[in-house]
């Protein structure tokens, strides 16, 4: 687990799903701010930009998680090597 956090930190990615939830919460706040009456166009646009930035970060985190899941699934599908190359298993 610590290795994943280290790798994620080295790539500038969030080390955990907690970070993802935090980003999603902030993006949700941006949407709420945009929906408030009486907000200036500049403020609404600023909130829109921030929301887009946050969603892009979330997307990167999710993409990374999907890649990790695919690697794990591929590892599960590969037959285990017994160290005896060239021999086939009998069933």
pLDDT one-digit tens code per residue, 2-57: 444 444 444 544 455 669 999 999 999 999 999 999 989 999 999 999 999 999 99
pTM, to two decimals = 0.62
Q: Which has more pLDDT, 3 or 77? A: 77
Domain 14-74 has CATH 1.20.1050: no
> In which band, very low, low, confident or very high, does the pLDDT at 91 lie, cut at 50, 70 and 90?
very low
User: For the chain, which residues make up each domain, given as ranges?
Assistant: 14-74
Residue 66: pLDDT over 50 = yes
Measured between its terminal Cα atoms, the distance across the chain in Å is 37
Rounded (to 5) percent helix, strand, coil in the chain: 75, 0, 25
CB 30 within 8 A of CB 47: yes
């Amino acid at each position: 687990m610590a290795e994943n956090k280290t790798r994620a930190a080295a790539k500038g990615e969030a080390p955990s799903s907690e970070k993802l939830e935090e980003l999603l919460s902030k993006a949700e706040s941006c949407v709420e701010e945009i929906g408030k009456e009486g907000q200036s166009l500049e403020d609404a646009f600023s909130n829109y930009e921030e929301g887009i930035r946050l969603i892009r970060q979330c997307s990167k985190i999710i993409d990374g998680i999907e890649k990790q899941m695919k690697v794990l699934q591929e590892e599960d599908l590969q037959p285990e090597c017994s160290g005896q190359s060239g021999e086939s298993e009998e069933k």
